[in-house]
Amino acid sequence: MKKIQVKHIVIFLLILGLSLGIDRIIKYLALNYLLQDISIISGFLKLELTRNVGIAFSIGLPMIIQILIFPVLFFMGLYFIYKYFDTTKVSVQIICGAIAGGAVGNFIDRIYYGHVIDYISVSIFPVFNLADMEIVIGIFLLVVFYGKIKRV
């Protein structure tokens, strides 16, 4: 069995904290200052404040299920990463810290507001936020690196 060392989780926790902090600041700014849509690329990209009561890709589930399922999925994900990835690799620590920071940021929204604050609108996707990007891109990178990061 692998032994977790403090030095192996420091980067993970730093990235998680940074990710979560930036998420909270941007969502605060969106809630307080994004009073109307702002077009960035006409017809394609805009800032648009929305309140997402669903989960990934706005799929609807009762809030109690969303709240109860988060800790289960979160710790299952951490266990999977611990079991199958070399967690001494800085790349794994950074990717997992970003995924965890995004997940915790959206979970805080669900608990505090009863929905997730979204603000990035790309014409072909549901409106999303930085936390969503961290989760999706992080999981994508784990999949891409799965064969390249030394599995234990």
Catalytic residues: 118, 132
* Structural domain count of the chain: 1
Residue 150 lies in a domain: no
Range of the domain at 109: 7-145
What pLDDT is attached to residue 5? 78
What is the C-alpha separation between 144 and 132, in angstroms, rounded?
18
Residue 63 lies in a domain: yes
* Beta partners for residue 50, in sequence order: 118
What pLDDT is attached to residue 106? 93
Residue 1 lies in a domain: no
pTM: 0.85
- Cβ(49)–Cβ(117) under 8 Å? yes
C-alpha triplet 100, 87, 106: angle, nearest 5°? 5
Residue 151 lies in a domain: no
Per-residue pLDDT of the chain in tens (152 residues, 90 and over written 9) = 567 778 888 999 999 999 999 999 999 999 999 999 999 999 999 999 999 887 665 566 666 776 778 788 888 988 888 888 888 888 889 999 999 999 999 999 999 998 999 999 998 888 999 999 999 999 899 888 765 555 55
